[in-house]
Amino acid sequence: MPHAEKRPTAGQRVRAFFGGGPRQKPRGRAQFNLRGRLAMVAGTLGLCSLALLGRAFEMQVIDNAFYQAQGDARFLREIPIPTSRGMITDRNGEPLAVSTPVESIWANPQELLKHPQRLPELAQALGVPADHLERKLSQRANKEFVYLQRRISPEFAQSVVAHNIPGVFSQREYRRFYPQGDAIAHILGFTNVDDAGQEGLELAFDEWLRGKPGAEKVIRDRRGRIVENVDLVRAAEPGKDLTLSIDRRIQFLAYRELRNALLEKGASSGSAVVLDVTTGEVLAMANLPSFNPNAVEGGARDAHRNRAVTDLIEPGSTMKPITVAAALEHHVITPQTKFDTNPGWMPNGRYRTTDTHNYGVLDTTGVITKSSNVGAAKIVARLDNNTFYEYLRKLGYGQSTNSGFPGESAGLLPAPDRWSGTTKQTMSYGYGLSVTPLQIAQAYAAIGNGGKLVAPTFVKGQRNEAHQVMDPGVAREVLRMMETVTLPGGTATQARVLGYRVAGKTGTARKASGGGYSRRYVAFFAGLVPASNPRFSMVVVIDDPAPELAYVGGLVSAPVFRNVMDGALRMMDVAPDDLDAWLAAQAAAEAKRKPATVATAPVAAPAPVTEAVQ
């Protein structure tokens, strides 16, 4: 029986379908090389390790600075260390400007804007409109730092930070505080929000006062909080203190009396300057209108001017002692020279030079005593143009006093080649040139200092070089003549200070208007006290007093001088040089205090004394 045919298996059929034949049995088994394969794997792993080590070496050693910088950019920050501004004190150590610690609220917009639901809460804590805050942050969305409020009290800042709003922080800053307020504002000036000087001595001595902020490196977390102090980059250097020549007590006196005069006389503005005659130190400089340096934003910008050094005025009759001094020094007159001022006026080109009264014949002293414009004009006529001009220049007119105050004006003193036929005559009694109150005070201080001119200074102890600009004998003679101005018959009896001899000069200048002069005035008084050995030079300028009240210097400015000097002389322990007047006043006061016990015969009243006022 034939054998049945053997059917192919499934595997054979698959191999046949794909073209494969029946599986052949290997003739011999190949040996498996396990050792070689392990070596190859180990070598591959070793090369990878070496590559990783090389890359790590490159990152940790070769390119360390780059990657460190990249890491630092994300977490390491250099932050400033605030420093306080130097204190400003008066000559006696009383504080005039101090820096007090405050806080400022700042935010990281990138972090804060991730929590928009907290913005209304933050706005309410800051006391600002929510839409304003959101707009401010959105405009700086790519920044990491923005101030929200600056220079606020530490208590208020703490209350804001206590809300724990992400991205909101506080930092220490300093704010300037002026204890004397508007009484000394024009001298000190003020600082801005960054505590940098903007005006006055705060600006002039900004580099000395401001110090140098420090810096330190810190690590902040992603919320901006400091988690580690890394390194002190630079130590903070506090600002240096500054001691001024100003005496706070005299300053307040000058400010108070100036304010009272403006209110009483209906004037628009005024200035007062007090100098130490020998040293040139500015003891007081008051101006009105004033401003509050602790709240500068709320004041009128025009009130910021220090009128005593920036505003130009025609000096009026305060020029007459200088005109007389120039003529005496050049030997064209003597103290006894007579001048006929009849009939109380004289021609000056198309105009007239007039006096308030017809004083008739006056000697040189009488020209100053009565403040005669005609007499001054006749004196200056004997001087050469260049001689008179150079004499005024020597006394500081037409040039800065070099006090160092920012914005100081040099004044206007036209050169002789620009004079018209009437210029020299009008300049002799204070028209045709412009000066500052500080320049007048400096020139008068030179008269009181034996003819030595010293540049004014605002720093205690600073000694500027003295220049001999006037013959000492002439200075003494002019000082004697000026003393007659405050005696009966002079134009400034209201400038007298009980117990002290006073030398001075009034001035009343009409204000320029539209190419001519208006019926409005500037009232002056410039004086030296005590006249026997002058210690103080003071100038009072009151602008635009109401004509219907009083507008002449002897009635408007002289009382301010008297009240300020009466206090200053006693504060500075200056010995009286007119004891007879002081004792007589004391006896009269004592007699008034005693009750009248015995009837006495009536005593005739003394005849009134007629006084020229100008």
**Mean pLDDT taken over the chain:** 87
Rounded Cα distance, 504 and 370, in Å: 12
pLDDT value for 67: 64
pLDDT at residue 26 is higher than 90: no
Alpha helix stretches (DSSP H) within 164-276: 185-188, 200-204, 206-210, 248-265
pLDDT value for 141: 86
pLDDT value for 587: 84
The band of 16, judged by pLDDT with boundaries at 50, 70 and 90, is low
Neighbours of 236 (CB within 10 A): 16
**Range scoring the smallest mean pLDDT among 118-122, 147-151, 229-233, 380-384:** 229-233
Q: Full-prediction pTM beyond 0.85?
A: no
Instruction: Give Rg (Cα) of the chain.
Output: 43
Do residues 283 and 275 make contact, with C-beta atoms less than 8 angstroms apart? Answer: yes
Q: Pick from 603, 604, 586, 390: which is nearest to 498 by CA?
A: 586
**Range scoring the smallest mean pLDDT among 146-160, 296-310, 349-363:** 296-310
pLDDT at residue 530 is higher than 70: yes
Residues labelled as active-site residues:
317
pLDDT value for 600: 47
Each residue's pLDDT tens digit, 213-227 = 777 776 766 555 666
pLDDT value for 608: 36
pLDDT at residue 610 is higher than 50: no
pLDDT at residue 5 is higher than 60: no
Q: Which two tokens stand for residue 231?
A: 């390194």
Each residue's pLDDT tens digit, 248-303 = 999 999 999 999 999 999 999 999 999 999 999 999 999 999 999 998 876 678 88
* Cα four-point dihedral sign 265, 297, 126, 151: negative
